[in-house]
Amino acid sequence: MSRYVLIGTDSYNSISHLGARSSKQSSNGPNRTAGQSSSGAGRSSGGGWRLPPLGNVLDFADSSVRVLAELSEGPSVTMKTLILCGGQGTRIRDVYTDLPKPMLPIGARPILWHIMKIYAAAGHNAFVLCLGYKADFIRSFFLNYEAFTRDMTITLGASGPDRAIEHHGDNDEAGWTVTLADTGLNAMTGARVRRAFRYINNDENFMLTYGDGVCDVDMNALIAFHEGHGKLMTVTGVRPPGRFGEIEIGDDCIATEFNEKPQATGGRISGGFFVCRREIFDFLEDREDLVLEKEPMRRLVVEGELAVYRHDGFWQCMDTNRDYDLLNSLWAEGDAPWKTW
């Protein structure tokens, strides 16, 4: 999964290497022709995408939006959540070679389950899983979920209507709706989102994230922020975790402070956890090689339709063996910041 750096200025954030065309158009579905441009703005003379000016990615810090978020006791409206689960996870295959990355375990449950629990804890329990690589593992997990999570009594030897499986008790995930959508074996992120359009129905907004990262973002504050600024997409901008210890040194070469792997203090990166208006599908086409984080988001930047929700709390993806070990260590120690349920 690609991560993109968000470069901050005094009142705005801009994604420094995202460029796009300029042509704002609104509709209720994906009907815009790829590469179509009404004005040609945003195009370089050579036909490529030019870099946007600073400030085209808006980072709203409007106090009224924050107050709305703070006063909200729950979601103003429940939203569907699309989760990208189709990638091959080549960088982490040394951990498990036979599982798709969303099914890599943290404790006894896959990271995908942890992500869904984060959303469900905030009141959003309708999910669309955009499947691809080794989709059968994810399908099997949910098709057999009751058997995995509940006690049961099975009457052996019975068949037909007499065959009895009685489940006992309940699980905390009762009421979840999980749509398992085949979005193609080799499709890139933009194509997967586009192919899930049919499951958004007439919803004005929906949430979107990757199937390999967890955080402790306040989902309903994020939604309130998104609804407050009215842009087509909000991305959660996070600071990447530090990989090395940081030493501060005085003029006399004596260490004045030492922090073991502190959170980075420079630019932000895209942490996923998006909120999108349905008009985002105007920026997507059903093309296998369409990467959401490239052309579509570059276009959003130039048109001033990408806002950044600044999150300074915990965020961690599972891209490497090191990440896998860290997340499992936090869970085993009972110190998992993303456990909001």
Q: What is the dihedral of CA 213, 216, 221, 222, to 10 degrees?
A: -20
In this prediction the pTM is: 0.76
CA 289/CA 155 separation, integer angstroms:
50
179's tokens: 């749509």
Percent of the chain whose predicted confidence (pLDDT) is above 90: 57
Instruction: Let me know: does 150 contact 170? Beta carbons within 8 Å.
Output: yes
* 196 has pLDDT over 70: yes
Domains parsed from the chain with CATH numbers: 5-23+58-332 (3.90.550.10)
| Length of the chain as a residue count | 341
pLDDT band at 83 (very low <50, low <70, confident <90, very high): very high
Judged on CB neighbours under 10 Å (0-12, 13-18, 19+), 184 is middle
Residue range 200-209, pLDDT digits in tens: 989 999 999 9
pLDDT at 296 over 80: yes
Mean pLDDT computed over every residue of the chain: 79
Confidence of residue 67 (pLDDT cuts 50, 70, 90): very low
pLDDT score of 162: 62
Count of CB atoms situated within 10 Å of the CB of 233: 23
165: how many CB neighbours lie within 10 A of its CB?
11
